[in-house]
Structure 1
Amino acid sequence: MNAPAVVLIGPMGVGKSTVGELLAHRLGTVFRDTDHDIVEIAGKPISEIFLDDGEQQFRALERQAVRAALAEHRGVLALGGGAVLAAETRELLAGAPVVYLDMDVAEAVKRVGLDAPRPLLMMNPRKQWRELMDERRPLYTEVARAVVSTEKRTPDEVADEILDVLELKQK
């Protein structure tokens, strides 16, 4: 199967981009983030896509970006926090080296912050984050080959564990 070397999934703020960049460097490959692809396709930030066009349009763009990235990219790939909501995406991830980066709500609030431009967390971020995770956690674990906690760990420690659990060699 042609697939990225590593696919990182998990909630917003968990460190997919930071850890993904580190992993790509260590593996001698490139990093790609489907959220960045969506911004390029739409020509505006994700928060504006949500406000101007709605979540449904954003999710359509997200499915398109994920499908393209999984078909084309061979490096380290990070998916947006809600990408796993689409059954099509979960099917495309079957058999891929998917790692679910996990953290609890207290850590999420610290990392994401309460004033960050996150469209799905505009009201009562703690409560909404818990609700999002109640919905998404089973989907993350369904498609993940490994679950790696980012709690109280540096990005380097998280990257080390991912390399270890996927049995990947650094370049």
Structure 2
Amino acid sequence: MKSDIILIGPIGAGKSTIGGLLASKLGLIQYSMDKLRWEYYFEIGYDEELAKHKRESEGFWGVYQYWKPFEAYAVERLLSSHNQCVIDFGGGHSVYEEVALFQRVQQALAPYSNVVLLLPSSNKDESVQILNERNQYVPDGKPNVNEHFVRHASNYELAKLIVYTKGKTPEETCSEILNSLFGGRRVAMDIGK
């Protein structure tokens, strides 16, 4: 099993912030999917004009569906290219409606023992409310993408550990993850083996 740490969860859950703290404490490099995704998407023919057209004609959910195959590829690509590191996924890179895409991501993550889902609360309604406040989203009666990410089964099926962040500083959350995964021992030299 690979012991790299992979953080998943909805937008605004703290993945990049916590990933940076974990990488610093462990002496590792952090790779953020949000910084690498477009490079990977373009490798397999991502079409900006088509994405723009889908957004204009079908709204966000149309472009969201267009992104999904590219997101699955980006997960495979990032995991195959980097090791001995901390990785934080984008909010959608761990949520798939299409079974075949979910299975690809599930297979890519199977060798990793430290897949951590970050959520504000164990209560899904409370998580959605907290994330809406963080992301300055005003509910309009329709589920937003983050609510979809919180309620969808994909994150829960991929995670090996769930950590709730409500009432904790990023440093406290980082310490909780390290204690849960490694029992508090110094592990920088063991990561990635």
CA distance in 1, matches of 2:34, 2:67: 10
CA distance in 1, matches of 2:141, 2:176: 29
Letter of the 1:106 counterpart: Q
Matched, 1:142 2:157: yes
Find the residue that maps to 1:100 and give its secondary structure.
strand
Is the 1:34–1:77 Cα contact (8 Å) retained in structure 2? Answer: yes
How many angstroms does 1:149 deviate by? 0.5
Task: Describe the superposition over 1:33-92 as per-residue Cα deviations: whole angstroms up to 9, x where unpaired.
Answer: 11221133458xxx9985456223322221121101111222000112222222211222
Structure 1 runs of 4+ off > 4 angstroms?
47-50
1:107 is the counterpart of 2:122: no
- Are 2:7 and 2:115, in contact at CA under 8 Å, matched by a contact in 1? yes
**What TM-score do you get using the length of structure 1 for normalisation?**
0.79
RMSD: 2.7
1:133 aligns with 2:133: no
* Structure-2 change in CA distance of 1:41 and 1:48 (3 Å): farther
Instruction: Give the SS at the match of 2:28.
Output: coil
> Is 1:7 aligned to 2:30, yes or no?
no
Point out where structure 2 has 5 or more consecutive residues left out of the alignment. 43-47, 55-62, 97-101, 121-126, 189-193
Alpha-carbon contact 1:9-1:140 (below 8 Å) kept: yes
- Point out the structure with max Rg over C-alpha: 2
Q: What SS class does the counterpart of residue 147 from structure 1 fall into?
A: strand
Residues in 1 aligned to 2:86 and 2:49: alpha-carbon distance in whole angstroms: 27
Gaps of 5+ in 1: 116-122
Q: Distance in 1 between matches of 2:141 and 2:39?
A: 27
Cα distance change, pair 156–81 in 1 and its aligned pair in 2 (3 A): same
Residue matched to 2:72: 63
- The 1-side partners of 2:155 and 2:166 are apart by 17
Which amino acid in structure 2 is aligned with residue 112 of structure 1? Answer: N
Where do 1:83-102 residues align within 5 Å?
Answer: 83-84=93-94, 85=96, 86-96=102-112, 97-102=114-119
Conserved in 2, the CA contact under 8 Å of 1:105 and 1:126?
no
Is 1:166 the counterpart of 2:172? The answer is no
What percent identity do the matched residue pairs reach?
A: 30
Taking a change above 3 Å as real, the CA distance of residues 161 and 50 of structure 1, as seen in their structure-2 partners, is farther
- Partner of 1:127, secondary structure, is coil
Kept in 2, the 8 Å contact 1:42–1:49? The answer is no
**1:119 corresponds to which residue?**
none
